[in-house]
Amino acid sequence: MSFAASLPWWAALPAATFLVLGGLITLIGAIGLLRLKDFYQRIHGPAITITLGAGCILIASMIYFTTQQSRPVIHELLISAFVLMSAPVVAMLIMRSAVYRDLRAGRASAITGGSNSQVPGNDKQP
């Protein structure tokens, strides 16, 4: 990290800001995962971490390496694209299984009371 010290201020400032922001968001997400009482609420914690938190850190990384190597480094765009695509899909699959578990246990009220987006009834008709 020898280069970090010699980073020009105009690059260091946004990079540091994004890093701190990303870290904060991730921390908030982690606390949310720990503290929220319901599964359907808790799932928002990791989602926020993955999208916003990771996004901020990736932007910081782009700024840092672009300045360091004196050429545009945009690998991170690819990473963000894949992260942004896989995270919601994974979250959806996890939520579906939670819904299924609740349905089997007969806790239909929990579904209607919590989030009403994921009811498996609509894809039962092939």
Partner 1 sequence: MLLFSLIFVPFVGSLVAALLPADARNREAWLAGGVTVYGLVVAASLYPEIAAGEILRHDLPWLPAQGLDFVLRVDGLAWVFTMLVLAIGFLVVLYARYYMSPSDPVPRFFSFLLAFMGSMLGVVLSGNLVQLVVFWELTSLTSFLLIAYWHHRADARRGARMAFTVTATGGLCLMAGVLVLGHIVGSYDLDVVLAAGDRIRAHDLYLVALVLIALGALTKSAQFPFHFWLPHAMAAPTPVSSYLHSATMVKAGVFLLVRLWPALSGTPEWSWIIGGAGVCTLLIGAFAAIFQHDLKGLLAYSTISHLGLITVLIGIGTPLAMVAAIFHILNHATFKASLFMAAGIIDHETGTRDMRVLRGLRHKLPITATLAIVAGAAMAGVPLLNGFLSKEMFFSEALLVGSDRNWWMSAAAVAMGIFSVAYSLRFIAIFFGPPATDLPRVPHEPPRWMRFPVELLVLACLVVGVVPAISIGPILDVAVHATLGASTPQYDLAPWHGFNLPLLMSVIALVGGVLFYVVLRNRFDLHARTRTPLIYRFNGAQAYETVMLRLTSGAEWLLRWLGTSRLQPQLLIMIIAMLGVPLLLAGVPTQWTTIPRQGTDPLFALVWVIGCVCAVAGAWMAKYHRLAALSLIGGTGIITAITFLWLSAPDLALTQLMVETVTTVLILLGLRWLPPRIEAKELETPSGVWLHRSRDMAVAVAGGLAMAALTYAVLIHPASDTISDFFLLRALSEGGGSNVVNVLLVDFRSFDTLGEVTVLSIVALTVYALLRRFRPAPESTGVPAQQGHSLDPASHQTPAEQANSGYLMVAGIYLRLLLPFLGVIAVYFFMRGHNLPGGGFVAGLIFAVAILVQYMLAGAVWVENHLRVRPHRWLAFGLVLACTTGLGAWLFEYPFLTTHTAHVTLPLLGDLHLPSAFVFDLGVFAAVVGTTMLILVALAHQSVRAHRLPSEEAPQDSRRPS
Region from 23-31, 35-43, 63-71, 96-104 binding partner 1, contact rule CB under 8 A:
96-104
Give the shortest CB-31-to-partner 1 separation in angstroms.
Answer: 19
Q: Alpha helix locations (H) across the chain?
A: 2-5, 9-35, 39-42, 44-48, 54-69, 75-105, 108-113
User: Does 117 help bind partner 1 (rule: CB under 8 A)?
Assistant: no
Q: Considering only CA atoms, which of 91, 87, 110, 84 is closest in space to residue 99? A: 110
User: Does 93 help bind partner 1 (rule: CB under 8 A)?
Assistant: yes
Long-range contacts formed by 1-8: CB under 8 A, 24+ apart: 3/68, 4/64, 7/64, 7/67, 7/68, 8/67
User: Does 89 help bind partner 1 (rule: CB under 8 A)?
Assistant: yes
User: Does 74 help bind partner 1 (rule: CB under 8 A)?
Assistant: no
User: Does 107 help bind partner 1 (rule: CB under 8 A)?
Assistant: no
Give the shortest CB-59-to-partner 1 separation in angstroms.
Answer: 23
- Phi first, then psi, for residue 114 (nearest 5°) are -85, -115
Contact positions vs partner 1 (CB under 8 A):
85-86, 89, 92-93, 96, 100, 103-104, 120, 123-124, 126
